[in-house]
Structures are given as structure tokens and as C-alpha cells.
Amino acid sequence: MPSPTAIICQTHRSALAGWRCLVCQAALCPECAVGERIQTVELVRCGLCGGDAEVLRIHRGVVPLAHRLKSAWRYPFSLPAVQLVLALGTFLAVMGWVATMVPFFIRLPVLFFYAGTFWATFFGLVRESARGDTSLDIPEFTELGRDVLVPGLRGVLVFLVASLPALAFALLAYPGVGAATDVFSWVILWRIPPALVRDGMFWLLLVLGALWLPTGLLLAASHQPARQLLNLRLALRMVRGLGSDYGVAIAALAGLVPVHLAAHVLAAGLRTVNFPFIPHVLAECITLVVPLLAAHILGLLLYVRGDQVGYGEPREYLEPLLGGTRPVRDAPPLVEHMAMDARAQDAVTQAVDKEAVFDGALDNLTTAVDARNIPLALATYAELEQFPAARVPAALHLFIGQAAAVEENFPLAVAALERAADVAPDQETAPRALVLLARVLGERMNDTARAEEVYRYVQHRYPDTAAARFASKHAHYEPE
């Protein structure tokens, strides 16, 4: 992790630097940096020597989880959150009502659909917060098995594993035919046998399960195979990677437990109100607030420390040191450069000429791709490699990657496919490019270790996509 130590401007010793000159290596604050736009490209130059400047980045973990949690309580009360709670609460109330109206043999599938919808939304919110997204979208339930049944099974399995030590102890303490009924009763209905209530070992095992519970929820939300829920080494490695922030998250979640219990008491009272449907919707909404906040806390934990446990790429956790701050000064428009010296005029001329070269090469590449002229596309792409990859559309990088793979130019295929994913990570071309990249690495270049890393990243970064499903079928890695 980069050092959290602030970088001070070389000229203004009381100001933070946000850029570093690539020529004179000076640290630049917004007053020392100069913004410049050449056609559609925004650049930052050094105000001391005129050289190009790069943005200084720092790990987002320098803002600790404890500080972020101070404002996390607002999350369930934002407008998108209220809309989500009302929509989900209404749906769950309808499912609960249906469960009371249908015959017993149909009731279990309805209740499982109820649980699956809840857990799919919960895990989706964890992943959204882990990306820094607060849009709070309800998942698209396009496939019943993948989008509802699987999350429901994962959610139930996590709580079952968390209670496994206490369950085993209860079975041993209550041998006989009635043991299963007793255990089912206290797990599902919290009607704990009096002897267990007085047993310190039972409560110790229950606390150990509760300490593991956030780890299990994170594993389930990040689409780890179900068998990994029983992988103690993986759980311990994750806890070590998350460090002290894991303890902060557990403390925050523990503080929500009495609030959630109070919400259930209030919801039980609402359900006794003799009024059609609305009290049941309100009851569901009230009991959704704490799970919504818990999902946000777990997502923030990954947002801050996820790179330490292999969630996402390390570069995704680096952010501009000064955020969205721009240089105070902008370079004067070209019309004001009439009095520039010869050196400055030459620099502008070269920049304009370079832009003309770029525009021409990009037009040629686009034309070649549209015509499926692979030789011309590959030759033109080589001319564009001197320019920043972000200026070339991701779709063109993807085409070149596919074409180079067909032509068995695997180094070029790997470079182009990596660029396709890097320049537009939120477009649909990114997961497609990464899957193709993994196939080239594993099937053509025999670099299976790197291919497995790419497949794993696809499953973490782009869950619930066709690319992630392909990656899960073709990856052969075995997490420790």
C-alpha cells in the first residue's frame, strides 16, 4: 500500500501537491500546475519548466473505514435507498401473503423465493458499495436459478455454517430423536432450550460463528465457490488481509443487532394492526433498513481493503491525491499565443501535427475495422501505439486483440485486449476482452497462472455476467 504521507508542493510549502512533473520531478500544487487542452485532450503541464505532469495517486485506504462509517448511517435514508426499500418491502410483503394463502407443499418454494430475492439484493448492494457505487439498484432477475435460487442458497448456507459449531454442540448435548427438532426450533425460531441458555460453551461457539459471519457474507457476495465457506485457511487469510478494519466492521455490525431486534419488535406490532396489506408492507420495510446498512458496511470494507484479499485489481484502489481538483491556471487559448517565442510556437505546431497524425490513423483504423481488413487494421494500430491507449475506443482495441489472436500474434493480442479492458472498464467490451485475454494466455501461450488470475478477476469485477459464468466454468484455480 502506498504511503499515506502527504506530498507537499515544491514551491508552496503549505500546499498539497496533486501532480509531479515528468521532466524536473517537481511536486506541483494546483497553483503550480497548468491545465492545457489540445482539441479534445486535457493535459497538465508543469508551471515551472513546461514539462508534462502526471497525477499523483494514493490508496483509498488512507481514509480509514472508521472515518467512512461516520456518514454511513445516512445510506439507508437517501432517496434511492428509500425507493429500494419500498419496492423490495412491497414485493416481500406480497410473497409473505402468498405463502399464507397457498397449500403447504407450495409454501416452501414461495418462502425460498422470498429469501432468494432478499439475498440477491443484499449481495448486490455489497458489490455496489465495494465499487463505490451508491445507486442502490435492485438486481435484474432474468434467470430464476442464477439470480434468485443461487443467492438464496448462499445466504442460507452462510448462516448455517456460522451456526455450525453451536449446532454440533447442541446435537451432542441433546442426543436422541428429539435433538433435531430442538435444534431446528432454536435456529429458526430462537426458542433456545433452557439448558443451552445456561451453557457458556454454547454461547462461546455462537460468538465464534458470529465473528466469522461477515467473512462468510463477503465470500458469498464475491461469488466464491460454496465449498470455500468451509475453508478455514481462506477465512483466516481474508481476516488477516482486512486487518483492523475487519474488527471495525464487526463492531459496527454488532451495534446494529439491537437496532434490528427493535425493528422486528416494531414490525411484529404493525402486523397486528387490522388494516389491509399496508401494515405488512411497512413491517417489511422497517426490517430491511438494518440489512441495507449492513450490506453497505461490508461493501465499504471491500472498497477500502479489498485489494488485500484479491478483490479487484490493485490499480483500482488508487485515487487522485487531490480528488477532482484541477489546476488553478489554464494555458491561454491559441489565439492569444501570437507573441509566443519560437520555441513555444514550435511546441504548439508539433502538438497540432501530432493530433493530425492521430486523427488520420484513427480514421484509417476505423475504416479498416468496418471493412474487416485485418492486415490494414494491424498496420494502422501500430501507428497508434505512440498515443495514449485511452484515446482509442475500446471496441477497436478488442477487434485488434481478436484479429491478432487469429493471426497468432499473441503478444499484440495480449496488449490490445488489456487496453480494451483498461480504457473502458465499465463497458460490456471489458469482460469480453478479459475472457479472450485469459484464453489467449492459457490456451495459446501456456501461461496458465496468469490466465487463472484474469478469470478470477472477471468473476470478482463483473459478477452476474456471461463472462463471469464462462470464467467460472473454465477456471481451474483452487484458492487456498
Minimum mean pLDDT range among 11-25, 116-130, 192-206, 254-268: 192-206
Average of per-residue pLDDT across 291-295: 94
SS3 243: coil
Q: Which amino acid is at 378?
A: L
Q: Where is pLDDT greater, at 395 or 332?
A: 395
> At residue 295, does pLDDT exceed 90?
yes
> At residue 334, does pLDDT exceed 70?
no
Average of per-residue pLDDT across 294-314: 88
Query: What rounded mean pLDDT belongs to the chain?
Result: 82
Share of the chain above pLDDT 90, in %: 21
φ, ψ (nearest 5 deg) of residue 319: -125, 155
Question: Are the CB atoms for 63 and 32 separated by under 8 Å?
Answer: no
d(C-alpha 146, C-alpha 77), whole Å = 30
pLDDT for the residue 183? 47
Residue 259 lies in a domain: yes
pLDDT tens for 443-479 read 888 888 888 888 888 888 888 788 888 888 876 544 3
What confidence tier does 286 reach under pLDDT thresholds 50, 70, 90? very high
Whether residue 383 sits in one domain with residue 300: no
pLDDT tens for 433-443 read 999 999 998 88
SS3 296: helix
pLDDT for the residue 316? 81
Whether residue 152 sits in one domain with residue 116: yes
pLDDT tens for 216-241 read 999 888 888 888 888 888 888 889 88
Whether residue 232 sits in one domain with residue 101: yes
pLDDT for the residue 359? 77
Name the domain boundary from 297, 312, 327: 312
Name the DSSP letter for residue 52.
Answer: B
d(C-alpha 74, C-alpha 72), whole Å = 5
Whether residue 372 sits in one domain with residue 252: no
Question: In 138-231, where does DSSP find H-type helix?
Answer: 144, 150-162, 164-173, 178-188, 194-197, 200-221
pLDDT for the residue 260? 92
d(C-alpha 222, C-alpha 469), whole Å = 13
Residue 295 lies in a domain: yes
What confidence tier does 297 reach under pLDDT thresholds 50, 70, 90? very high
pLDDT for the residue 333? 58
Residue 8 lies in a domain: no
Share of the chain above pLDDT 70, in %: 85
Whether residue 191 sits in one domain with residue 99: yes
pLDDT for the residue 469? 85
d(C-alpha 240, C-alpha 43), whole Å = 41
Q: Which three cell numbers, joined as nine digits, stand for 195? A: 439448558
d(C-alpha 21, C-alpha 362), whole Å = 29
Average of per-residue pLDDT across 318-339: 71
> At residue 291, does pLDDT exceed 90?
yes
Closest CA to 329 of 56, 20, 28, 54: 28
> At residue 184, does pLDDT exceed 80?
no
* Alpha-carbon distances, residue 132 vs 115, 117, 171, 188, 306 (angstroms): 26, 23, 43, 34, 12
Whether residue 232 sits in one domain with residue 307: yes
Whether residue 295 sits in one domain with residue 365: no
Q: Which three cell numbers, joined as nine digits, stand for 272? A: 397486528
SS3 189: coil
Residue 211 lies in a domain: yes
> At residue 187, does pLDDT exceed 70?
no
pLDDT for the residue 142? 67
Residue 83 lies in a domain: yes
Average of per-residue pLDDT across 59-66: 86
pLDDT for the residue 253? 94
Residues 6 or more apart whose Cβ sits within 8 Å of residue 367: 373
Q: Which domain holds residue 446?
A: 340-474
Question: Are the CB atoms for 433 and 394 separated by under 8 Å?
Answer: yes
Residue 4 lies in a domain: no
* Alpha-carbon distances, residue 140 vs 145, 148, 206, 458 (angstroms): 12, 10, 35, 19
Whether residue 255 sits in one domain with residue 189: yes
Domain count, the chain: 2
Question: Are the CB atoms for 292 and 81 separated by under 8 Å?
Answer: yes
Residue 2 lies in a domain: no
What confidence tier does 3 reach under pLDDT thresholds 50, 70, 90? very low
Which domain CATH number covers 443?
1.25.40.10
> At residue 258, does pLDDT exceed 50?
yes
Whether residue 294 sits in one domain with residue 394: no
Q: Where is pLDDT greater, at 138 or 448?
A: 448
pLDDT for the residue 478? 42
Whether residue 214 sits in one domain with residue 110: yes
Whether residue 298 sits in one domain with residue 221: yes
pLDDT for the residue 480? 36
Residue 139 lies in a domain: yes
Q: How far is CA 283 from the centre of its chain?
A: 30
Work out the burial of residue 48: count CB atoms within 10 Å of its CB; fewer than 13 is exposed, 13-18 middle, 19 or more buried.
middle
Go through 433-450 and write b for each residue having 16 or more CB atoms within 10 A of its CB, e for each that does not: bbbbbbbbbbeeeebeee
Average of per-residue pLDDT across 88-115: 86
d(C-alpha 164, C-alpha 170), whole Å = 10
Q: Which three cell numbers, joined as nine digits, stand for 254? A: 454488532
Whether residue 368 sits in one domain with residue 287: no
Q: Which three cell numbers, joined as nine digits, stand for 219? A: 465470500
